[in-house]
Structure 1
Amino acid sequence: MKQTLATTASLLSLTLASGFSDRALAADNGFVKDTTATLQARNYYFSRDFSDIVGANQQSKAEEWAQGFIFNLKSGYTPGTLGVGVDVIGQLGLKLDSSPDRVNTGLLPVQDDGRAADDYSRLGAALKVRYSKTELKVGELQPNLPVLAFSDIRLLPPTYQGVSISSSEFNGLTVQGGHLNSTSLRNESGDEKMQAMLGHVPQRQVSSDGFNFAGADYGFNDKRSSLSAWYGQLEDIYNQRFLGLKHSEPLGDWTLGANLGYYDSRQDGKKLLGNIDNQAFFSLLSAKRGGHTFYLGYQGMFGDSAFPRVFANISPLGNEVPTYEFAYTDERSWQVRYDYDFAALGVPGLTSTVRYITGNNVDTGKGYEGKDRERDLDLGYVLQSGSLKGLGIRVRNVMARSNYRSDIDENRLILSYTWSLL
């Protein structure tokens, strides 16, 4: 399903033309009037040094530089009781720098010859139907759920193919459900069956025929509190239940926050990965005053297995970060984090994050206790004026150390800019 740059550009042009060729006819309804279209350019440099390699892959460094483009079109709805619309997403990734000894950053596909592809692209669409406050979507989807989090942490985001329904008929309550039958990974063009990860270890040896989900989020207390209950099933591999609570409480000049969650995961159906038994609890507490936000987090894994999730996704676990997950068998971990928004000092657009996480009690299966730790530093700035107003710059530096998996020194530099086309 790989396409060249010219082919992708042509397809996007045809999509726009077909959607807006008869504006006069549609001017009296929201299909065109409520349509939005954006194009994001994302320039991404990613480097990981593995100073103490553990495992079968003995590659000592992953380092690549790439340019991505993400086109999103979301139409309004046709008039009437039953409104119909369409969402379109087009993605293009271009290689700027790579070599066979530095691949597998997750930015670019790796070909059979061991080299990164020069480019990769995808164009997908979803038909959407709305009745009252209920919406049905069929086609290319990007769900963001506690049991399947939206994982936009590389050059291009992943997508899924299937059907979903969302309903907000009752005040404060949103109910969702759906079935996904395939995925397009963050650095691939085509569709693949879904696979699992246990902790940090991909389980590529088996695949599932589908992922099913259902859940509800209820907001109350003037939207300062919410409760969540979710179910996810990666067919014949694992099923998972989630309960969550979020709360925000003003207290003088401070705003206190709490994010609590509990997962219970078991093997499913044919048990293609054998028995799975994991219970995960996390808590992330916060205190905000002015530009300062302080966090304290605890996360515990219980049972005989690591935390399962769909490959290659992140999860909303409180101590999971894009480098280490702190979600291996029996692991206990603590996090301290400090964010500062420099708008409080008269520098809007400049933000920073410093975070330290330490984990222990890991059942490595090798007769010793596993331990790991990670320090993250993130700086971000969005230009507030001038011809490049809106340009985002983000720098990330990571040091991660472990006695049972590879040590990592990581650097990322991300430039992003979004044009509003409609």
Structure 2
Amino acid sequence: MLNKPSICSQAGLQNKVTLHLTKPASISNFATIALFVTVPAWAGQSESRGFIEESSLTVLAKNYYFNTDRAGGRSNQKDWSQAFIANYESGFTQGLIGVGVDAFTYWGIKLDAGSGRTGTGNLPVGDDGDPDNEYARAGGAVKARISNTILRYGQMSPSAPVFAQSVSRLMPQTATGFHLLSKEIDRLAVEAGHFTSGTDQVNTNRDGELWATYALVTTPTVDYAGARYKATDNLNLAAFGSRFEDIWNQYYINANYIVPLSKAQALTFDLNLYRTTDTGNASAGSIDTTAGGIQAAYKVSAHTVTLAYQQVDGEQPFDYVGFGDTGRSGGSIFLPNSVQYSDFNGPGEKSWQLRYDLNMAGYGVPGLTLMVRHLRGQDIDGTHVTQGAYANKYGEDDKEFETDAEARYVVQSGHAKDLSVRLRLAWHRGDAGTGGDQDQVRVITEYPLNIF
């Protein structure tokens, strides 16, 4: 268990690379999962109103308390921090080819933290072992649009299932490179990317490394391409492929189908499947892994019950991208049992999940949602790998289980409208290779401001 990206509820397809598309397990109302893969209407270059006329500036004030109590003689991880995350997105100039700029500025502040409690991923740590009092970074990307196709170059927050940032800590991650997004065909969104560096949550170096997270091996470039297709109003499909130079080729498919039963009831089925094989110099060693998960949700009025099963077939764990000089893991693990602490992605691991969501709007408290889930994983066996980056990371017949609970409230009106407060709890128990025994508390407050 290495700096895994837990789930964040920020989600929704937007018209830029910062899609903030999260894993299906994070959805408060699972029956609405199709929103995450729907191809939205998109105004093309012919409808451009101008660079300034369509520009926007938003600021997110984010307060984050993080506390992990770890057993086995390991130090606990604890801090309290504040961030201000500003994002500017210009419109496009008019004409056959429109040009524009996206820019961001992040500022993080230590409210309470100390040496001996570091490692949360929210604050950088100085050479003296103490968390820094503050840190900041800025960046952006230039963009060009022709018809319904946008090309960007610069620092971005990618969200493809095979190459995605994590938004689970105080700051988001970014990657530097090219990104192409095209919606020339109705109901079809095609994208491709070429990235050469990354920045994690606690670094300011825009030229940081790109990693295989569990292998702890870097790659000089990542290339990927894929598409999302809305086949019908109830069926959404996606397929992606990526190449981490000299590490792996990874492929992904997704199918999501909603069965409306009545005005207040629906069934949702979701399938995610990854296939990973080594390539080039195989810097992480031999890789031959298939990882898949299927989940079904039944929604009736304010209640949603979800059952998920996930399995890793292979002698290596299912691995995915990490960003920056510290190699903190990204978010490209769109499997149902990747949850607040554990990914349940060990070699040979079989896991299941039972989850319950309650939307209190149905009981007169709009804005309040509650969730509880329990997961169990077994049959983890890492003893077949004796050489390479994945050797000696797991034992034989390892097991783990995790229970999570969450409460989230969003203010519905008044001066504090859209202010959200979230309490997240996790209890994980397992063998050393799965992260051992951990109890975790997070309290996250977010207040979005639309400047213009």
Aligned-pair CA distance for 1:394: 0.3
Partner of 1:41 in structure 2? 61
The 5-angstrom pairing of residues 83-98 of structure 1 reads: 83-98=98-113
Inter-partner Cα distance in structure 2 for 1:406 and 1:367: 12
Matching of residue 120 in structure 1 with residue 135 in structure 2:
yes
Aligned-pair CA distance for 1:216: 1.0
Inter-partner Cα distance in structure 2 for 1:390 and 1:117: 30
- Contact 1:296–1:337 (8 Å) recurs in 2: yes
Partner of 1:246 in structure 2? 256
Inter-partner Cα distance in structure 1 for 2:243 and 2:269: 27
- State the AA in 2 paired with 1:284: Q
SS at match of 1:393: strand
* Greater radius of gyration (CA): 1
**Taking every aligned residue pair, what percent have the same amino acid on both sides?**
36
SS at match of 1:80: coil
- Contact 1:149–1:316 (8 Å) recurs in 2: no
Structure 1 residues 61-100: Cα deviation after superposition (integer angstroms, max 9, x where no partner): 0001110111011111111111111111111111111111
- State the AA in 2 paired with 1:344: G
Structure 1 residues 309-333: Cα deviation after superposition (integer angstroms, max 9, x where no partner): 0121131111101301100100000
Matching of residue 403 in structure 1 with residue 421 in structure 2:
no
Higher relative contact order (CA 8 A, sep 6+): 2
Structure 1 residues 179-216: Cα deviation after superposition (integer angstroms, max 9, x where no partner): 01101101211131111123xxxx33x32111111111
SS at match of 2:162: coil
SS at match of 1:308: coil
- In structure 2, runs of 5+ residues without a counterpart are 1-47, 323-328, 384-393
Q: Which runs of 4+ in 1 moved over 3 A?
A: none
Inter-partner Cα distance in structure 1 for 2:142 and 2:257: 35
Structure 1 residues 132-189: Cα deviation after superposition (integer angstroms, max 9, x where no partner): 1111011011111111233100001001100010111111111111101101101211
Aligned-pair CA distance for 1:51: 1.4
The 5-angstrom pairing of residues 189-200 of structure 1 reads: 189-191=204-206, 192-198=208-214
| Match for residue 418 of structure 2 among 387, 390, 404 | 390
Inter-partner Cα distance in structure 1 for 2:378 and 2:156: 37
Inter-partner Cα distance in structure 2 for 1:84 and 1:120: 31
Partner of 1:109 in structure 2? 124
| Match for residue 156 of structure 1 among 157, 166, 171 | 171
- State the AA in 1 paired with 2:380: V
| Match for residue 341 of structure 1 among 346, 355, 359 | 359
Inter-partner Cα distance in structure 2 for 1:406 and 1:373: 10
Inter-partner Cα distance in structure 2 for 1:156 and 1:343: 30
Partner of 2:236 in structure 1? 226
Count of equivalent residues: 384
Aligned-pair CA distance for 1:367: 5.8
SS at match of 2:317: coil
- State the AA in 1 paired with 2:308: G
Matching of residue 71 in structure 1 with residue 86 in structure 2:
yes
| Match for residue 379 of structure 1 among 407, 428, 434 | 407
Partner of 1:209 in structure 2? 220
Aligned-pair CA distance for 1:254: 1.1
- Contact 1:193–1:210 (8 Å) recurs in 2: no
* Cα-Cα RMSD: 1.4
Aligned-pair CA distance for 1:111: 1.8
